[in-house]
Structure 1
Amino acid sequence: MTMRSGISAYDTWQVGRVSVMDAVVAVASKPGVLAHGGTDAPAGMLAEAVATRRPSAAGARSLHLGSGNGLVPAVAQAVGFAPLAVDRYAANAEATRRSLLASASPGAHDGQSPPAVFHTACVNPHVEAGSCELVTIRIPTDKLGVQLAVVEAFRALAVGGRCLLAGANDEGAKPAARLLEQLFGAARLENQHSGCRLLLAVKTADVPADGVLATTPWLDCETFFEQPVVVGGTAFVLATRPGVFSWEHLDEASRVLADLMRVDDGETVLDLGCGAGILGVVAARLTPAGSVCMLDADADAIRCAQRTARMAQCLNVDVRASDVCSAVAGRAFDVVVSNPPFHLGKGTDLAIPRAFIEQAHAHLHRGGRLYLVANRTLPYERLIAEVFGEVRMAHDGRRFKVIGGVRRA
């Protein structure tokens, strides 16, 4: 079968020039990247604060947690830091890499290592303790994620190093400020506007002010929350970590889809946006003579899904980090199952589910089936009808619906 060719709107990168104080940098973006089509006030505050600082020596390291579109590390690079950037989401990590390359002076990376950008939620393996002069944190929206970022920042900073943290008040900026004070001993408000705060803390000693906070078990990348679940009468153990979708319990939508999806033995299955992997392992049990490929943009979701598959002893499963279907270019499947994300930041963004539906169609064999679960208020029927030419309703519940289509051509 020939795959559809062409680049969709979701896959189209744009690069624009941005002035921050005296620094002019390039910022790459596309749908799925933080602040695409707009601005992110906390990142802007961090960029302005970084633009006013200079490294104490050439090549001094800066670390950027939650690098987003790469604006903040690009400004750090422009003022003389050697930036290390971390983001757990594939599109953001790729945007940061492109922004740093486009912002570098001509020939800066010729014959040298590419920009140090890590698609990961685990900083420890990549950044030595006490190796950074500056750390910036664009706070995540989950409480444990903020705690982990603050602890990672303290660990990575040299004594005398500075931590800049920014976020919106309704994302938890005030509790994040208290975490900074607990660990660093003090934190001060540097700026606030547009419902956002920028805070500064200085590392004054190797030992954190709150030793209990600094021993959070999630710093160990091999620590997982393992929860027994029963789906379709079969027992599984789901491995999760903070920040992974519905990490503390099996979400109801995934359970509904797992019970309803039809997979015949010998069929190939794509679990698109796999999270911790429950749909993939259920599908693997349904098609022992077939195979299952699980994809997710979240670096920790990939590690969790791999562990979930190992504990389920599913040997016919392949788990890959992917921005939608980028990791399976040229492949086609008999069945695609998906519980797609529809939040980008605090809002609802249909660009991502649209990309899921378009790429699901492109990666199905003729006659292949899509099963998609969603909140019943979301207008996915229109998107599916536009791409598949039809909509099939498998379940219409009080909270969730399972819809899909069959690829006809």
Structure 2
Amino acid sequence: MTDAACHGAYGQLPESLISLHSETVQFSPLIPGAAALEACMPASLDSFVMLAPPGTLERRYAIAQALRALAPGAPFHILAPKERGGARLVAELRALGCLVADVAKRHHRICSGTRPPTLTALEDTLAETGPRRVPPFDLWTQPGVFSWDRLDPGSALLMTHLPALSGHGADFGCGTGTLSRGVLTSPAVKSLLLIDIDRRAIEAARRNVEDPRVTFRWSDLQRPDNTLAKLDFVVMNPPFHEGGTEERSLGRTFIQRASESLRRGGRLWLTANRHLPYEGVIRTLFRTVTVAAEAGGYKIFEAVL
């Protein structure tokens, strides 16, 4: 099988490493490559290059999955910023039975090695770092998904102020489905579409939201979608980070997409950090805008198209 570059969700690989491979398949838990790595047959890759994610559990899971797909004796290169997991890479690879050489370059640690004939504790590592139920809500989630081990306070505030909705709606950036579960307590909701860019979130939401009114879509809301139209309502807690840095344009794009997806008179319910400059774009796109609540550094907006 072709070489693999495991990146995209976590930033861009240095060109010097990408150039090691003339042909690559990009793997990521986000659109478009999440399913590719898990679909690889064990020992089917000739090599891979990975920019590892910063979260400890997420990083260990990604490394274990990539090594599972790598052929014995095949080379790999894994790097991470020193302060975002790079200092732990050698120990994590040795725990899986790999002998590695590591170098420091441009504030990164770069580990290189070959896959051993047998990986140590591979299945245990995948079980310890992969999808799981998390208390106190006893919902399915996975390390690396937004707010994977806690209820986000912005979503919690929106849930306490959300009225009983009705008609056909969507949850933009649904995550593991926590907000959708609150929406569906209203029997007047006829259908709800859960959309997220992260395949791990969609898979968790499928387990958490079991309701015949629900459909799921693994999709990138930054891209226009003319199949989203004439909705009665949209709820969202839009993202504002990309690759570990604040990116305010993401939230503005979500708001734009909601305005394109709602019918005339349809409603947007949005929660956002108070410091984010969303109010201006909401007032530009919607006829009426109300700040329904403000607490704990968050604002809740109700906007009518």
Aligned to 1:244: 145
2:197 counterpart of 1:282: no
1:7-406 equivalent positions in 2, closer than 5 A: 60-67=1-8, 83-90=24-31, 93=32, 118-120=33-35, 123-124=37-38, 126-193=39-106, 195-203=107-115, 205-208=116-119, 211-212=120-121, 214-218=123-127, 223-229=131-137, 237-265=138-166, 267-288=167-188, 290-310=190-210, 314-324=211-221, 326=224, 329-388=227-286, 390-406=288-304
Contact 2:229 2:260 in 1 (8 A): no
Q: Secondary structure at the match of 1:291?
A: strand
Q: Secondary structure at the match of 1:158?
A: coil
CA distance in 2, matches of 1:77, 1:138: 11
CA distance in 2, matches of 1:258, 1:329: 27
| CA 187–343 in structure 1, closer or farther in 2 if over 3 Å, else same | same
CA distance in 1, matches of 2:126, 2:63: 14
Contact 2:180 2:194 in 1 (8 A): yes
Q: How many Å apart are 1:220 and its aligned residue?
A: 9.5
| CA 334–289 in structure 1, closer or farther in 2 if over 3 Å, else same | closer
| CA 71–172 in structure 1, closer or farther in 2 if over 3 Å, else same | closer
Q: How many Å apart are 1:75 and its aligned residue?
A: 9.5
Q: How many Å apart are 1:329 and its aligned residue?
A: 2.4
| CA 305–156 in structure 1, closer or farther in 2 if over 3 Å, else same | same
CA distance in 1, matches of 2:73, 2:157: 52
Contact 1:294 1:320 in 2 (8 A): yes
CA distance in 2, matches of 1:71, 1:376: 30
Contact 2:134 2:149 in 1 (8 A): no
| CA 252–170 in structure 1, closer or farther in 2 if over 3 Å, else same | same
Letter in structure 2 aligned against 1:341: P
| CA 287–268 in structure 1, closer or farther in 2 if over 3 Å, else same | farther
Q: Secondary structure at the match of 1:285?
A: coil
Contact 1:270 1:292 in 2 (8 A): yes
Unaligned runs of 5+ in 2: none
Contact 1:320 1:327 in 2 (8 A): no
Contact 1:180 1:201 in 2 (8 A): no
Contact 1:184 1:201 in 2 (8 A): no
CA distance in 2, matches of 1:157, 1:217: 15
| CA 218–143 in structure 1, closer or farther in 2 if over 3 Å, else same | same
CA distance in 1, matches of 2:52, 2:165: 43
CA distance in 2, matches of 1:334, 1:239: 28
| CA 383–289 in structure 1, closer or farther in 2 if over 3 Å, else same | closer
Contact 1:263 1:335 in 2 (8 A): no
Aligned to 1:36: none
Q: Secondary structure at the match of 2:74?
A: strand
Moved over 6 A (4+): 69-72, 74-80
